[in-house]
Amino acid sequence: MGTLFNQSPRAYCKVEISDIDNFLENAVRLAEKYHINVSDVIAAKSALEQERSNNLYVKNGDTFDEQMAGFGELIQELNRVMEPD
């Protein structure tokens, strides 16, 4: 993964109140397409958001593990060079 000294900048996404209009228009369109209630579309969106959150949690854990391993290697190297001959 190589993130210890090569961390890419975060992409922050801001959600505006105006995004609700677009979201609801899409929800209504999907509800009509699949002959379901808008509340079912919103529930499906919520399930997808939970899956996305879980995926981010796993990715964050992988990155953390990698970074801790990198710090461990740095500490081992520092210990090696500081040991008396």
pLDDT, one tens digit per residue, over 3-14 is: 556 777 878 888
Q: Is the pTM of the predicted complex or chain greater than 0.75? A: no
Q: Considering Cα of 37, then 38, then 43, then 47, what sign does the dihedral take?
A: positive
- Tell me the mean pLDDT in the region 40-45: 98
CA 66 → CA 55, 62, 70, 75, distances in Å? 17, 6, 6, 14
Query: What CA–CA distance (Å, rounded) separates 35 from 13?
Result: 32
Q: In the chain, what are the domain boundaries? A: 19-82
